[in-house]
Amino acid sequence: MLHRLRELGFTTRMFEAADGVGGAWYWNRYPGARCDSESHYYCYSFSDEVRKEWKWSCRYPAQPEILGYLNFVADRLDLKKDIDFGTRVTAGTFDEDTHDWVVETNGGETVRARFLITAVGNTSAPSKPAIQGLDDFAGKIYYTASWPHEKIDFSGQRVGLIGTGSSGIQCTPHLAAEADRLTVFQRTANYSVPARNHLLTDAMRLEQEEKHQDLRRKTLASPIGMPFDLPQLSALEVSAEDRKRRYDELWAGGGFRFMFTSFNDLTVDLKANDTIAEYIGAKIRDTVRDPATAEVLCDFNHPAGTKRPPIDTDYYETFNRDNVNVVSIRTNPIREIMADGIILQDNERYELDTIVFATGFDAVTGSILNMNLRGKGGEALRDKWDRGPRAYLGLSPAGFPNMFMVTGPGSPSILANFPVCIEQHVDWIAECMVHMRENGIDEIEALPEPEDAWAKMIAEEANKTLLPLANSWYMGANIPGKPRVFLAYPSGVHAYTVICDDVAKRGYEGFALRSRKMAEAVS
Ligand code: NA7
């Protein structure tokens, strides 16, 4: 966004809480942190030079490599000189007289800007559960979502890991390899699929480059922003043998393709979903030697794919180690944290030296609300969103003129490949700002009716799927008190792009466009 606005001649100020670029990839430095999307499409596409100058080492790069890539891009485009690092936005208020945003930072600075663009990520406000006794714990506490920069030595430690989402699943094998003992506290069993990571050879990279145009076309045509051939068949219209053959084939290839390219009705039909859930369950039971452990790991309690699907390297295999065990806390939750460990509701005690929280995020809305934004009439965004986030096209909330969100709630970002969604938002927002500049428009504001219609459509479309059945962060259900509202446009990034382009073509239909001159003429 910064690069595009600078190219277009806008004056910018950019604030970043961290001391460096990278966002989620800056903070999530836990052992095993790795991308679940393949490197050749989990990257920027806006510059052929940038793409050709960077060489990915493997199919799913680890956090340090992705952070290296983001630093490479920022340096290559000389972006860092225009970013105020180590600076948090503490408040933002729309000034109706001047059509400007007044932004305050923790450094005590106040900045006026015509536009306010949030690009604060979807998984950047860590969720730190308030478990009774947490402050009394005498050992060390770490959060995967804000991991220290220095290497942590877990050797000789009894480690407790809370959380079995993507982060918990990724760090489990690494903690197990180092710690004396690892106890994984699992509230909801997950359906993890092997990543099948591998190094990329020069020949593989060359092939990706030769096919770039074709892959890019597929990526943009896909609802999930990944260059996959979409499944045409229902899981229920093939024979059990053909279904198993398809699952076997895709399981061998690993990664998101297993979930997203096998059958077309897995997230809309419970019976179809059962087939993939049973398949993954059988794989877990085949892998994990102790039947009781396998049963805990198969206690899914939600349809497959209705929480963010994890992929892993040796997750289930790790439970065959002598120093690893899993404890179900679904019906027997953590009662308290004591100085020397964790005690469950049934009084079962686990003595620990270290607790690692892989408990996720106040996703999508948390970081936006933490900025204390106020729109027209001084309305707080937190109040406007107290029954769930609302924003027309997931881009701009009514009552908050000249505010745009990159990957905001109601956009497709959390269900799709992030770079594709980010670039779509950046292009749309930049074009809108140019349109305003060229036409003497000072203010753009989403209208309440189209915003309502957008929220209604999201709920209706989400309800046609199985996604609302899970207590997922997609639904805001992981945070106590957070409204249970589906947080994404559910029909995919391709359909979303078509709608956004159409809105722009129709002169930003659904938005009010105002200019000071017009207002003066009327008065
Ligand atoms: P997730 O996917 O939100 O996973 C968090 C995990 O922590 C999940 O297993 C939760 O169980 C568990 N959790 C959360 N709060 C608690 C409490 N209070 N007690 C016990 N267990 C708890 O976060 P991740 O960091 O793994 O992944 C986030 C995204 O980052 C990921 O999807 C990628 O997009 C990258 P639950 O399922 O809620 O029962």
pLDDT in tens, the chain (523 residues): 999 999 999 999 999 999 999 999 999 999 999 999 999 999 999 999 999 999 999 999 999 999 999 999 999 999 999 999 999 999 999 999 999 999 999 999 999 999 999 999 999 999 999 999 999 999 999 999 999 999 999 999 999 999 999 999 999 999 999 999 999 999 999 999 999 999 999 999 999 999 999 999 999 999 999 999 999 999 999 999 999 999 999 999 999 999 999 999 999 999 999 999 999 999 999 999 999 999 999 999 999 999 999 999 999 999 999 999 999 999 999 999 999 999 999 999 999 999 999 999 999 999 999 999 999 999 999 999 999 999 999 999 999 999 999 999 999 999 999 999 999 999 999 999 999 999 999 999 999 999 999 999 999 999 999 999 999 999 999 999 999 999 999 999 999 999 999 999 999 999 999 998 666 655 4
Question: For a pocket test of ligand 1, which of 357, 478, 482 has the largest count of ligand atoms closer than 8 A to its C-beta?
Answer: 478
Q: Which residues pair with 185 in a beta bridge?
A: 162, 327
CA dist 260 and 265 (Å) reads 10
Is the CB of 32 within 6 Å of ligand 1? no
Question: For a pocket test of ligand 1, which of 27, 131, 166, 312 has the largest count of ligand atoms closer than 8 A to its C-beta?
Answer: 166
Rounded to the nearest angstrom, the gap between the alpha carbon of residue 13 and the centroid of all alpha carbons in its chain is: 25
CA angle 53, 54, 55 (to 5 degrees): 120
Is the CB of 478 within 6 Å of ligand 1? yes
Encoded tokens for 241: 């043998």
CB count, 10 Å around CB of 334?
A: 21
The dihedral built from the CA positions of residue 193, 198, 202 and 203, taken in this order, carries a sign that is negative
Under 8 Å between Cβ of 269 and 303: no
Q: Whose CA is nearest to atom 3 of ligand 1?
A: 360
Under 8 Å between Cβ of 487 and 307: no
Q: Which atom of ligand 1 is nearest to the CA of 188?
A: 39
Q: How far is the CA of 125 from the centre of ligand 1 (A)?
A: 13
Is the CB of 482 within 6 Å of ligand 1? no
Under 8 Å between Cβ of 307 and 164: no
Under 8 Å between Cβ of 322 and 291: no
Distances (CA, A) of 517 to 135, 333, 523: 58, 62, 10
Question: For a pocket test of ligand 1, which of 188, 332, 359, 467 has the largest count of ligand atoms closer than 8 A to its C-beta?
Answer: 359
Q: How far is the CA of 54 from the centre of ligand 1 (A)?
A: 32
Is the CB of 164 within 6 Å of ligand 1? yes
Tokens 């936006």 correspond to what residue?
A: 368
Is the CB of 166 within 6 Å of ligand 1? yes
Q: How far is the CA of 353 from the centre of ligand 1 (A)?
A: 22
CA neighbours closer than 13 Å in the CB half-sphere of residue 151: 6
Question: For a pocket test of ligand 1, which of 187, 414, 482 has the largest count of ligand atoms closer than 8 A to its C-beta?
Answer: 187
pTM for this model (two decimals): 0.96
ipTM here: 0.99
- In three-state secondary structure terms, 100 is strand
Q: How far is the CA of 328 from the centre of ligand 1 (A)?
A: 14
Q: What is the dihedral of CA 10, 13, 19, 25, to 10 degrees?
A: -50
Tokens 């923790």 correspond to what residue?
A: 106
Burial of 451 (0-12, 13-18, 19+ CB in 10 A): buried
Q: How far is the CA of 522 from the centre of ligand 1 (A)?
A: 54
Q: Find the length of the chain.
A: 523
CA dist 249 and 253 (Å) reads 7
CA neighbours closer than 13 Å in the CB half-sphere of residue 160: 26
Is the CB of 458 within 6 Å of ligand 1? no
Q: Whose CA is nearest to atom 4 of ligand 1?
A: 165
Under 8 Å between Cβ of 406 and 422: yes
**In terms of Cα–Cα distance, which of 107, 141, 77, 91 is closest to 339?**
141
Q: How far is the CA of 378 from the centre of ligand 1 (A)?
A: 34
Is the CB of 473 within 6 Å of ligand 1? yes
Domains of the chain as residue ranges with CATH = 89-125+378-522 (3.50.50.60), 134-357 (no CATH)
Q: How far is the CA of 361 from the centre of ligand 1 (A)?
A: 7
CA dist 269 and 449 (Å) reads 32
Q: How far is the CA of 308 from the centre of ligand 1 (A)?
A: 10
Q: Whose CA is nearest to atom 14 of ligand 1?
A: 359
Secondary-structure percent of the chain, ordered helix, strand, coil, rounded to 5: 35, 15, 45
Is the CB of 122 within 6 Å of ligand 1? no
Q: How far is the CA of 165 from the centre of ligand 1 (A)?
A: 5
Helix and strand element counts for the chain (H, E):
18, 20
